[in-house]
Structure 1
Amino acid sequence: MRHPQRLLLTLAALITVSSCKSEAPKPPPPKVQAVSTQLAEFTEGIDTVSTLESSNIVELAAQSGGRIEQLKIRQGDEVEAGQLLLVLDQDEEKANADTAKANYERYAYLAEVGATSQEELDRYRTQYIEAKAKLDYTNLRSPSAGTVADVKVKVGDVIRQGEVFTSLVQNNELEAKVEVPAIFSARLQEGQPVVLMAPGSEEIIATGVVESIDPRINPNTQGLLLIAAFLNTDGILRDGLRLHTRVQIKAEEQLAVPFAAVIQTSGQSFVFRLGSFDELRENPGKADLRKLELGIKAGKLPSNMQFALQTPVTVGELENNLYPITKGLKLNQKVATTNLLNLRHGMPVQVQPAKGN
């Protein structure tokens, strides 16, 4: 049989060990980085899709008919004004021009010695000019600078006078015909910014302006047609390119927080605002206020301790990695941007400045 005194001593030792374990130091409050809410400019826009068109497309047609002997261009070539594009068979036109020149020179001599009239000389001069022009027409030259589009002929083909054989596209300035809902008509004006983006992307490829607004509304689509102009100095845009288009109709300053500060649960957006113990008292939620207050009184928590306050917010569309806040926060309030998944409402936190601040 065990001695009662020894049993009591053993129980006392166990209680002492258990008590020591329960008073083990707790981990320090989690560290978070924080930023202050600020005002940022956000743009309201109308999103649609548009197709770019060159504002200057020149169709090139043969000024004279004949068989193509030389073709000096290919699709995609950059050409200058006056550059030779193709050469037609010149045998007949050259012979006619040589004959007309000889006749003109002969009658010029006869007129000089008084053996023919000025009227006859003028007639042969006209014939020579016409024959020379027809010969020149067999050398087809570019009327302006541009990029060669689809070439519809090849060497050996017979081309008719007036037949279009290619087009010149000037891609240095492009237009987009943009149809927007007519409900926005009162908020549209010339000069408003228009941005182009690749499908499925927010990356801006080019920025232009509204150049003109159709005074009529399409009765079938209830749309209003705008024409936006874009300079293409870097050459990345092309005639016929179809792109995501945004007409920016309004820009204003709104309260904003970084993308990293917002969490979403069941369709509701939240931030963890940082506030004092008094602010936590106003909305304690499930926080153990008594325990926290005892910790502050005992000096385990500093009197100026900051607490994570889970705050529902209403956000707008993300822009430049910032969310506009339309409800839930005020200017210059601090919000956590890191360690959000480990935070709970009413949890004390150690605040560190955000990187870059």
Structure 2
Amino acid sequence: MKIYYDNDADLSYLKGKKIAIIGYGIQGRGQALCLRDSGLDVVVSEMAGTPNFEQAKKDGFNPVSAAEAAAQADVIQILTQDHVQAKVYTEAIKPNLKKGKVLVFSHGFNIRFKQIKPPKNIDVIMIAPKGPGALVRRMYEEGKGVPCLVAVHQDASGNALKIALAYAKGIKGTTAGVIETTFAEETETDLFGEQAVLCGGVSELIKAGFDTLVEAGYQPEIAYFEVLHELKLITDLIQERGISGMRRGVSNTACYGDLSRGPRIITQKTRKEMKKILKEIVKGKFAKEWIGENVAGRPNFDRLLKEGDEHLIEKVGKQLREMMPWMKK
């Protein structure tokens, strides 16, 4: 594993260049503000009339269209959502690319699955902070950084990695450490993590636990507390200390239940299904399905989301969260 730090990065590779941030969402805002505060020249693109457009103006930017930003910039960072990146690229960025420009991503989906096919005479790089944009910004303001991933897809200039590391330094990623990877590795592991563990796995495990308790006659409110509300305590411990640290941070009863019963929940059958999900990702089956879903107007996405919204755990949770003033903004 190769990790880069401040001494490995030189901001001069971005001096005199204009950086376009396409999309002023949470990640776009965080990166744009950090890059500007690092003394770099930043132009922001966002759709007029949106809350993000107004936020960009409040932050001192003069947001322009994606096409205008791409035309002005030497370095173009695409931070719109995955399913709209190809359209933005085709309509606004591609016509404004020329030899020597740099295309930047923070997630490799559209390159890995060939929804975006850049010309050969530009650099194509990735800097992916391993945290949300708000955290990137907060750590920057504290003089710290969020660990990042770096990858080079095309090195037309011969300096693509140096430019990528300069970008990482501009958001203080090199303060924490920047791990070298590939577009394929970042994309495939990211999708797998979301589907099998972080989102798909966890949410389905929560609902299964809730349903098991309710069907056994326990109050839904008690079930909610035990399988959903207290999850934050555990995930916080895991994030701070690792799994072993979490086990030493809970009661011995809970720890023994973890060690002795966990493998009965995540069985060999579950692990086999995880391997199947990973295979679908690597072979492009999921990407093809998701791209087709968007083309069709998201019928399955909307149906599945609605079904999830109607689960009893959502009704119970909404009522219980009203009892928790710390949850309210």
Report the TM-score, using the length of structure 1 for normalisation.
Answer: 0.18
- The higher relative CO (CA closer than 8 Å, separation ≥ 6) is in 1
Higher helix share: 2
